[in-house]
Amino acid sequence: MASEGQLLARWREEEREQPTGWSFADLEGRMRADPTPWDFPALCVRALGAARCALDMGTGGGETLLGLKERAAASGVSWPAVVTATEGWAPNVAVARDALATHGIEVREFGQPDDDPEPATMPFDDGAFDVVLNRHEAYHPAEVARVLAAGGAFLTQQVGGDELGELRDLLGHEPTAPQVRHRRFRQELLDAGLEVVDGAELVGGYTFTDVAALVAYLQRVPWEAPADFTVDRYADPLLDLHRRTHGGQVRLTMKRFWLKALRPS
């Protein structure tokens, strides 16, 4: 059985700067998220097949968008003539541009602040896009409505702002985006003049193989931990979690929801 010192040393090895891109491939086999009852990529591909101009908000390193393009090709679904992406985290902008440039996809640096109720003006003309996609990215409904063409579709999947409650209880911090809730986001789209035509929510779970895998995950999503989080600063609660789980799997609450809205013709 590993001593506390050995455990802490092992967990420190997981600490690193937040990686660029938006891939969790390095955690494959170490964490699992319950599947959603909806297939969001399939919903996005279907919407893209009917679009001429499309926008992907918060593209990360472009991985998800390229995955959609591959899935569309494999399914025989047409790809829009013009696809543009935005990314708000500066280190990812260069990564996304490198990944997407050869596919003719322009990346614009833009991000709506999570905690700002006022809309940041998106760098696009009114009615510029037939489809706007948004996966786990902040947005302002009024700006989405503005850049959508008449009859255009907005699809978003979001992480519930109140997920990982057990982790917050353990580490003693508040959620960074408690306003991200299915019912609230649905109403805000309606208030912006859009017609919400579909959507659902899920309460599920994340399963981590052990505390080390959880620490590794928090390096990718540092906003889900206290701002001063390090293994050494939070050694006591991490060791307590290790004891309570007998050094095995850690199960935490996951929340997801998705919405589809149309701009009236």
pLDDT tens, residue by residue, 69-126: 999 999 999 999 999 999 999 999 999 999 999 999 999 999 998 877 889 999 999 9
Calpha distance 30→249 (Å, rounded)? 10
Q: What is the largest CA-CA distance in the chain?
A: 65
pLDDT tens, residue by residue, 181-191: 999 999 999 99
Return mean pLDDT, the chain. Answer: 95
Q: Which of 30-39, 58-67, 101-110, 172-181 has the lowest mean pLDDT?
A: 172-181
What is residue 115's predicted lDDT score, i.e. its pLDDT?
Answer: 75
- Residue 108 near residue 55, CB atoms below 8 Å: no
Residue from 192, 81, 85 nearest 142 by CA? 192
pLDDT above 70: residue 22: no
What is residue 19's predicted lDDT score, i.e. its pLDDT?
Answer: 72
Question: Would you list the domain boundaries of the chain?
Answer: 4-14+26-262
Mean pLDDT of 33-41: 98
Highest CATH level, class, for 4-14+26-262: alpha beta
pLDDT tens, residue by residue, 216-227: 999 999 999 999
In which band, very low, low, confident or very high, does the pLDDT at 31 lie, cut at 50, 70 and 90? very high
